[in-house]
Structure 1
Amino acid sequence: MIAFLFTLAASFGVSTTGFAQGASLPVDDAGIVSAGESLYKNNCVVCHSVGSDVVVGPGMKGVNERRTQPWLLSWIKNSQALIASGDKDAVAIYNQFNKQAMPSFAFSDEEIVSILTYIKSAESAAAEAPAAGATAAAAPGENVGTDAIGAVGGYLDIILVVLIVVLIVLVVTLLLITSVLKNYLNKNKQLDEYDNEIVNQRFDFSKIYKSKAVRTLVVLIFVVVLIDLTLDKAMGIGIQQGYAPTQPIAFSHKLHAGEHQIDCNYCHTTVYESKSASIPSANICMNCHSQIKAESPEIQKIYKAIERNKPIEWVRIHNLPDLAYFNHSQHTQVGGVECQTCHGPIQEMEVVSQYAPLTMAWCIDCHRETPLNTEGNAYYDNLVKLHESTTKSAFTVSSNGGAECSKCHY
């Protein structure tokens, strides 16, 4: 939805009327807000932030106070019809944005209201955040939670360093005292032959490396280190953690998913529906870049791929062996697993790299630690009862057979 709400927010300076007919937005209805958030993130977030920041189009902050609800419904459903009718605000917005036509959307009134409700809810949450931060400030002597723990950890580090320095000073002091006493006794020459031998004895370092015990210990340490390094290399075969290949087009997840907050599902369209997350087609790129930064050298590569009728040859980063079965939709849709769980902070990556090891042990550990959401699903009722009758631990993926070989290998 490239143009959705793009010009809607531009109406800030065109009209200041509120919602007509006393209409109000049900910001306290979590279901409506959630539905609006889903529609917004799947369609609008490509070009708009819910705040005042300009992404591609203007931010949505305050848009509900700038327009009447009937006008918003008409504009979003068919902006061209509203312009053709001669509506002065619609014409002004159309001209302001270089006569770029906003597409019509087959949204119901309820869906549009849910989007506007989500925007209003996000504004309220943003307004409450600074106040909550101010009230959370701790008074002198009050427990400040994790910050206090971090401070205590810092003090412990300082104490540890001081103790090490004191220990070194004590050792040096003892050595100096020993040297002074030795010199004093030698000068007074009051030592008999036995005492003189003890005080002035010399340490023979050659005895250390000629010792069989020392040589055996050195060889043993060398063998253990060699075995450890060999095992590390052998166990690391096939693991590509940190792998970050150069792509044919310099696409930045940090810019798109991070700064512009484009939902993963917008580009990877089957991540909630299919085994594979899918590779974005050039058409998806052109939804935005037919108008945005079309002159960029990197964007021109997309144009060339379309002209040649050849797909962009992206380099695969996350690879699983053919013997392992993995289904994206089972994890994202059914399990509710966030993309960052496996792919790391993808919204912060300028160049994407493999974040997790993606080994069998890593997957099984996740299955053992992740509890299943069984509420409202009668399929799990008897299984949960049976599980609770034998153990007090959480009902995890592993409890439901998620660690069985046949789940991933068959």
Structure 2
Amino acid sequence: MLSKRSLVGVRSNFHTLAVLFFMLIGMQAFAADPAVESGDEAVAAGKALFNTNCKTCHKLDQKLVGPALRGSTDRSGIESVKSFIKNSAVVIASGNAYYNKLFKEFNGTPMPAHEFLSDDDLNNLLSYIEFGDVVDPSAAVATVGADGAAVATGGGIPNEYLTVILGVLVVVLLLILVVLGLIISVLTKYLTKQDLDADDDEFVNQKTDLKKVFKSDMFVVIVTALVIALVAKTALDGLYSVGLQQGYAPEQPIAYSHALHAGTLQIECQYCHTGVEIGKSANIPSANICMNCHTHVQNIQGKEGVSPEIQKIYDAVDNNQPIEWVRVHNLPDLAYFNHSQHVVVGEVECQTCHGPIQEMEVVGQHSALTMGWCIDCHRQTEITTEGNAYYDKLVQVHSASKDALKVKDIGGLECAKCHY
């Protein structure tokens, strides 16, 4: 039977859920920045602008003349980045601490003004900078610091999942609020038609008391649940990132540029990493390998004297001391990986695991190199069986399947393959 008590309960729940609804709307707005779109059209338009105006001095994930650009909106804010692109001199002159530090870090190299770019152009450009040309979207993407060096972001739970969860909660709460609103309306109309005393009439027509809403048990329970959920997500993010070094790019004793040697000069990886085709490890090149070229090449073309970085190689040879290169890629001892098996037998390109190494000034760990990442590769990689009698019987057995023969079909998912 409809009563004043029913109206009290419904109103209380309605007010509590209404506050929670607006809290979630705020959280969702914070979780996703609508100013930078990830749509294909915006990214494509931004790429054209990038190639025309930015490509000479910048790359997305590596330093060039200027810093790496991906993640710039997180480091200084969208509007700040737009202002800097349009006229960097004005932003620097304004005393902006972040951009003044960046300006000094890159030897005071000025960036040309781009006043001709419209706001839509800038939004498209930022869309490409943040979402364009991601090599491995299934892996966590490494962002870059202010100096353009890669910084490990870890695995974690993608923010997109949190946004989807919040979106679903908002829709569900909205539906509940609509239903509760209708119930309140029906109860109010019913009770106003009854013979009510002064106290009851005042209650039915009362205004919302937010203090009571915030003190209600339901509000406390919901807020507590939200806090626990956020803490749990943070903890899971931390657990997912344990042992993950994606983006790790240490400073080396000699500023060796893979972009110059492997990219511009097109020196094969195998020339320096001689063990990659004959053994488990790719091995770090010795100073003697460097001297094969640098006995004659002492500096960048057009400059006189011995380059300070090349001089370090000469010093190592003269003192009979190895160059103490810092290891970048390091699998745990419990995992077995054989370079020759992948490079020679599997014909896997170096870039498949190490990323666009020919574009890197400072080498960093490009891929996650987690067990899941390796297993996913084994599930997707097809086996080349033509001209190899070793696979004849396997192909015959596998012929009934609609899928091509893949690494997973020849034992690539067996535990003992990698954990010996």
Match of 2:291 in 1: 286
Question: Cα offset for 1:279?
Answer: 0.9
Question: Cα offset for 1:394?
Answer: 2.0
Whole-Å Cα distance in 1 between the matches of residues 398 and 222 of structure 2?
Answer: 51
Counterparts of residues 96-115 of structure 1 (less than 5 Å): none
Q: Say yes or no: does 1:401 pair with 2:406.
A: no
Match of 2:252 among 247, 254, 261: 247
Counterparts of residues 118-137 of structure 1 (less than 5 Å): none
Q: Say yes or no: does 1:211 pair with 2:222.
A: no
Match of 2:324 in 1: 313
2:388 partner amino acid: N
Match of 1:77 in 2: none
SS of structure 1 residue aligned to 2:266 = coil
Q: Say yes or no: does 1:356 pair with 2:356.
A: no
Q: Deviations over 1:141-187 (max 9, x none)?
A: xxxxxxxxx9xxxxxxxxxxxxxxxxxxxxxxxxxxxxxxxxxxxxx
Whole-Å Cα distance in 2 between the matches of residues 379 and 335 of structure 1?
Answer: 14
Q: Say yes or no: does 1:271 pair with 2:276.
A: yes
Answer with 321-330 or 220-229: which moved more: 220-229
Match of 1:298 in 2: 309
1:344 partner amino acid: G
1:338 partner amino acid: E
Match of 1:260 in 2: 265
Q: Deviations over 1:19-44 (max 9, x none)?
A: xxxxxxxxxxxxxxxxxxxxxxxxxx
Match of 1:378 in 2: 389
Whole-Å Cα distance in 1 between the matches of residues 271 and 372 of structure 2?
Answer: 31
Whole-Å Cα distance in 2 between the matches of residues 379 and 291 of structure 1?
Answer: 47
Match of 2:334 in 1: 323
Question: Cα offset for 1:208?
Answer: 2.8
Question: Cα offset for 1:220?
Answer: 1.1
How many residue pairs were aligned? Answer: 217
Q: Deviations over 1:65-108 (max 9, x none)?
A: xxxxxxxxxxxxxxxxxxxxxxxxxxxxxxxxxxxxxxxxxxxx
Runs of at least 4 residues of structure 1 off by over 6 A? none
For structure 1, the residue ranges without an aligned partner over 5 or more in a row are 1-149, 151-192
Give the root-mean-square deviation of aligned CA atoms. Answer: 2.4
Q: Deviations over 1:94-141 (max 9, x none)?
A: xxxxxxxxxxxxxxxxxxxxxxxxxxxxxxxxxxxxxxxxxxxxxxxx
Q: Deviations over 1:187-232 (max 9, x none)?
A: xxxxxx9xx999x964322233222222212111211221121122
Whole-Å Cα distance in 2 between the matches of residues 213 and 376 of structure 1?
Answer: 70
SS of structure 2 residue aligned to 1:206 = helix
Match of 1:234 in 2: 239
1:395 partner amino acid: L
Aligned sequence identity (%): 61
The structure-2 alpha-carbon separation of the partners of 1:210 and 1:311, relative to structure 1 and needing over 3 Å to count, comes to same
2:389 partner amino acid: A
SS of structure 2 residue aligned to 1:271 = helix
Question: Cα offset for 1:399?
Answer: 0.7
Question: Cα offset for 1:312?
Answer: 0.3
Q: Deviations over 1:360-405 (max 9, x none)?
A: 111011001111111111211111221232x312211011100000
Higher relative contact order (CA 8 A, sep 6+): 2
The structure-2 alpha-carbon separation of the partners of 1:213 and 1:249, relative to structure 1 and needing over 3 Å to count, comes to same
Match of 1:333 among 340, 344, 349: 344
SS of structure 1 residue aligned to 2:413 = coil
Whole-Å Cα distance in 2 between the matches of residues 321 and 265 of structure 1?
Answer: 24
2:208 partner amino acid: F
Answer with 377-386 or 204-213: which moved more: 204-213
Match of 1:221 among 202, 226, 230: 226
TM-score (norm 1): 0.50
SS of structure 1 residue aligned to 2:275 = coil
Q: Say yes or no: does 1:367 pair with 2:372.
A: no
SS of structure 2 residue aligned to 1:270 = helix
Question: Cα offset for 1:302?
Answer: 0.6
Q: Deviations over 1:255-308 (max 9, x none)?
A: 111121111111112212221111111111112211213500111111111111
TM-score (norm 2): 0.49
Match of 2:188 in 1: none
